[in-house]
Structure 1
Amino acid sequence: MTATDITHESIVERLSAQFPGKILSHDAPFGLLSLNVPREEVIDIIKWLKEDAAFQFIFLTDLCGVHFPEQSGQELGVIYHLHSLVHNIRLRLRTFFPANDPVVPTATTVFKGANWMERETFDFFGIQFTGHPDLRRILNVDDMNYHPMLKQYPLEDGTRTDKDDKYFGR
């Protein structure tokens, strides 16, 4: 399969054939194919995409957490950005889960470079990566008892009296 043969549709078709019923949804915002998959299957899908001779998604560009508190039952998520350096194709995998069960399998079994990205995601969002070789804080102090990127706090302090909204365009 050449780069010109690889389309969003062909990727979705092959993945759907390889993992029946596991592609929950897909779209292509800004031309980037994005697939929603169950967290139980995400590592198997990543491994298959990496090892597949036709696609060769051999580079994990990024891995990060997201928090959407308004999405009941799917408040937290992990986003994986994969790149086929051979075909210069990018792909986004997304998996969402409840905030009261923030557990996802580690991607370090497929990409060693996922180590620090998963530590950062744990540090800021509290997402646990099962099987991670050294899951501990990486950027914040060890005794911090919260995860600062969770949208649990107001953006502004409503008790401040030193601000005048007219200077902020409000």
Structure 2
Amino acid sequence: MAEQGLTNEQVLENITAKFGEAIFDAHEPYGLLTITTTRDQIIPLLTHLYNDATLKMNFLTSLCGIHYPENKDQELGVIYHVHSLVHNVRLRIKIFFPIEDPVVPTATNLYATANWMERETFDFYGVQFEGHPNLIRILNVEDMTYHPMRKEYPLEDGTREDKVDVFFGR
């Protein structure tokens, strides 16, 4: 008899049993279980997902930054995608924090692949990964004084007069 695959409900039940109220805003857009936690709980949660004999979520698919300037005291965030290769189940984890305090613990001790992903997130969003072995810019020039993916800059030059708005759907 074939073993039944792991469901999103089983994953959520497992992690909420261990982390309780530190797991919130759980939903399933397009079937992908998505949860939010705190930056204090992200490494214990990732460690649990990695080591749990049932879940076996030991592959970090991606890690990236996000910027919501309108969310007071939660402007910046980091999104983690972890995957159980055994069960073919994915989980998206989000954390948010103030832009004035962009410090998050590194996941490089758990996932070697987090190294470059954290460097890219630092480079583009300014997130400081505490404990990272080599947190330097990876794609932009080293003397750059800003983080280009933050939504702090206009997308286009409002003073341009050489374009016709009708061609841009306005």
Which TM-score band (shorter chain)?
A: over 0.9
- Counterpart position of 2:145: 145
Distance 1:125 1:5 in 2: 37
1:64 aligns with 2:64: yes
Alignment of 1:66-145 (within 5 A): 66-145=66-145
TM-score, L = length of structure 2? 0.96
Q: Which runs of 4+ in 1 moved over 3 A?
A: none
Instruction: Return the letter of the residue paired with 1:141.
Output: V
Aligned-residue offset at 1:3: 6.3
5+ residue gaps, structure 1: none
State whether residues 5 and 87 of structure 2, in contact with CA within 8 Å, keep that contact through their aligned partners in structure 1: no
Aligned twin of 2:31: 31
Aligned partner of residue 143 in structure 2, secondary structure: coil
In structure 2, what residue type is equivalent to 1:105?
P
Instruction: State the shift of 1:5 in Å.
Output: 5.1
Q: CA deviation at 1:169?
A: 2.1
CA shift for structure 1 position 17: 1.1
The aligned length equals 169
1:15 is aligned to 2:18: no
SS of the equivalent of 1:95 reads: strand
**Number of the residue aligned with 1:157:** 157
Could you tell me the percent identity over the aligned residues? 57
Verify the 8 A CA contact 1:3 1:87 in the aligned structure 2.
no
Q: Secondary structure at the match of 2:156?
A: coil
- Provide the C-alpha distance between the structure 2 equivalents of 1:10 and 1:19, rounded to a whole number of angstroms: 14
Of 56-65 and 16-25, more deviation after overlay is shown by: 16-25
**Secondary structure at 1:162's aligned position in 2?**
coil
Contact 1:36–1:94 at 8 Å: present in 2 too? yes
One-letter amino acid of the counterpart of residue 16, structure 2: S
- Given residue 137 of structure 2, which amino acid in structure 1 is its aligned partner? R
Distance in 2 separating the partners of 1:3 and 1:153: 51
| Stretches of structure 2 lacking an aligned partner (at least 5 in a row) | none
**1:63-101 Cα shifts (integer Å, max 9, x gaps):** 000000111111100000001000111110100111111
**Residues 86-121 of structure 1 deviation map (CA, whole Å, 9 limit, x = unaligned):** 011111010011111101000001101100000000
Partner AA of 1:9 in structure 2? E
